[in-house]
Amino acid sequence: MGQNHANANVISTQMGIPAGTQLEGKIIKALSGFYYVKTIEGTYMCRARGIFKKKGNAPLVGDDVTIVVNPTTDSDEMEGRIEVMHERRNSFIRPPVANIDNFLIVLAAKDPDPSLEILDRFLVMSEAAGVIPIIIINKMDLVDNDKIEQTIRHIYEKYYDVHFLSTLNDDMGDLDVLLSDMQGHVLAFAGPSGAGKTSLITKVLNLEQPDETYQSDETQFDGGRYLQESSDTTDQRIYSGESLKTSDVSGKTGRGRHTTRHTEIHVTPKGALVMDTPGFTSFEIIDILSEEIAEYFPDFPQGKCRFKNCKHLDEPDCAIKEALQDGKIAESRYHSYLAMMRDAIQKEENQY
């Protein structure tokens, strides 16, 4: 009896960690019903308690959790069970991820030409989600003047962190300095297809550059731990290969062809956590009422209009319209606001 009990203790120990031990960690990938949780003792393949799914609160990549170590099995993986999901700072439906600290919003200086409205939509999404945005203009080697840089700096630099670089020429600007200050931060790259997000991630992670030509943002695996490609957009993985494949920009549409079908978290040499996702290329502004949109434009004067419920359209004594006329607000920003307002009002009308 005593001998069997001793053997049970040996069997229940994983890499020196006794079964039943509680560990804090972060979900770094989700695959086929398993969640891979990175802890100070290593990465554990975990199932989640059924109560989470029953309550409509299934774990997401990026979640901070408490796990319990399982007894040793014949599996090569260290195994555990997710017991506690800690409060999220933010979460997203498409892609299904959580707890992002910063959005690195990437636009191309050219090929495709940058859209300030798309940039503004990403910025509003970031502000509404409580995520700090950082603007990155890539492919600066494709422009032969500083017009785009002057425009971006004039409109955005007072309110947002802005960086200009060229991944093709290994000109990363001061992005390395920025990443050095982001140890432990969870970063997500966002932006339209074709901006060069994957090429930028490759540079940031010091991975092998796949091609010496500009490619699109979307990735496939090449030589990685998981070689199969899944069509399930909820298939979320951590990358452990040598390079990320990119697909070229479509000559017909001028946009990158979408090939990413998974979410993965990378750890940079600087210690930041980079979340590469298939979903932050386009999105709806959701869960934002039309009357709240202006609050997410930091360059718009707040609370100074004559009417408290001013929508900044045709109302008299509107502080935002006055700032626009005085040149204190860029016309492109106000046009972006109008486009988002139209979308929000139409959505609200369709709900009733």
Average pLDDT for consecutive 10-residue bins of the chain (352 residues)?
42 72 94 91 93 90 96 80 95 88 95 94 93 95 94 97 90 82 90 87 70 38 24 35 42 42 76 77 69 96 94 96 97 97 90 76
Give the domains, in start order, of the chain with CATH numbers: 2-86 (2.40.50.140), 97-276 (3.40.50.300), 290-350 (1.10.40.50)
Q: What integer pLDDT is reported at residue 12 of this predicted model?
A: 53
How many angstroms separate the CA atoms of 74 and 234, rounded? 28
Distance between CA atoms of 309 and 303, rounded to whole angstroms?
A: 10
pLDDT of 223: 23
> What's the pLDDT at 15?
67
In this prediction, residue 266 carries a pLDDT of: 80
- Give the tokens for residue 328: 């204190």
Please check whether residue 161 is in contact with residue 134, taking contact to mean a CB–CB distance below 8 angstroms: yes
Contact 182, 225 (CB under 8 A): no
Give the model's pLDDT for residue 295.
Answer: 96
d(CA 134, CA 189): 10
Nearest partner of 156 among 136, 126, 182, judged by Cα: 136
According to the model, what pLDDT value does residue 206 have?
76
